[in-house]
Amino acid sequence: MDYYLVYASPVASGNSAVPEGILVEEFILADDYSAAGLVSVGWSSQDRRWRASSDTSRRIRTDALLRRRVVPVARQTAEVFHRGLAGEDLPDEAVLSAYCRVGATMSMPAPLRLSAARVTTGFHETRLYRILFANELNPGALANLRAVWRMTITGDPADPHVRVLGTAGRRIGGDAFSWDLRRLGAMDAWCVDLTVDLADSRDEAVGPLLRELTTTMRAQGLIPVTIDRFS
């Protein structure tokens, strides 16, 4: 699950303002770990109760001004603020997940396939995923990603025409993973394109890595929009 602090006004560096609410989101995943939907619930100091927040979730992905009032945080940080605002512990994730799904209707979409299946030589299956994000990625955040991922910088971040800024990879058992950090036109749209080469029919390493990449980007202020599988 993903946690956000929501403020009454745009958050500036060093701002000591107290948030007015907490937003909790959960991506519903298909069997191949692509996103089938997004559900959410929020708590505000105004009405002091949890309620469905799908409209807020949609708006923070389309409204740049609203995004300036929203800060992605870890659960531990959300716990501290919820205890201070509500005077009680943050519900555990099983409870929050149930809150998120109240009244939610979800239909599994047909898999998005933009290219014919092509398998890398020596592997059983090749997949391509895209994790789409909204928000700005500043130079400090890019430096952090480079350090965490041991990412090779492949383009000048200052050049607006450069799309792929860096690439990284990892082996997990017999599986090979590589990913590109890509800028999508506007400065506040980014994605991580993940290529998965599976050694056999087992794919249990895919989900945790997609989650890890998403969490790492959130730690730099990015807001995940969806997880698509292209092939």
Whole-prediction pTM: 0.91
CATH number of the domain bearing residue 129? 3.30.160
Is the same domain home to 34 and 66?
Answer: yes
Owning domain of residue 55: 2-101
List, for residues 11-21, the tens digit of each pLDDT value. 876 566 889 99
DSSP lists the bridge partners of residue 190 as: 133, 183
Does residue 66 fall inside a structural domain? yes
Residues 59 and 143 in one domain: no
The answer on 152 and 96 residing in a single domain is no
- List, for the chain, all residue ranges whose pLDDT scores fall below the cut of 70: 13-16, 103-116, 186-187
State the pLDDT at residue 106: 56
Looking at residue 111, its pLDDT comes to 55
CB of 145 closer than 8 Å to CB of 181: yes
From 131, 122, 119, 147, select the one nearest 189 (Cα to Cα).
131
> Do residues 96 and 129 share a domain?
no
Mapping DSSP onto H, E and C, the string for 44-111 reads: ECCCCCEEECHHHHHHHHHCHHHHCCEEEECHHHHHHHHHHHHCCCCCCHHHHHHHHHCCCCCCCCCC
pLDDT tens, 158-202?
Answer: 888 889 999 999 999 999 999 999 999 766 899 999 999 999 999
Could you tell me if residue 162 is inside a domain?
Answer: yes
94 and 138 together in one domain: no
Q: Are strands 70-73 and 189-198 parallel, antiparallel or unpaired?
A: unpaired
Are 215 and 192 contacting, i.e. CB atoms less than 8 angstroms apart? no
For tokens 């501290």, name the residue. 80
Query: How many independent structural domains does the chain possess?
Result: 2
First to last CA, the chain: 26
Residue 112 lies in a domain: no
Q: Are 71 and 164 in a shared domain?
A: no
Q: Are residues 223 and 146 in the same domain?
A: yes
Residue 224's DSSP bridge partners are 133
pLDDT of residue 183: 93
The predicted pLDDT at position 160 comes to: 82
Beta bridge partners of 179: 168, 194
**134 plus 225 within the same structural domain:** yes
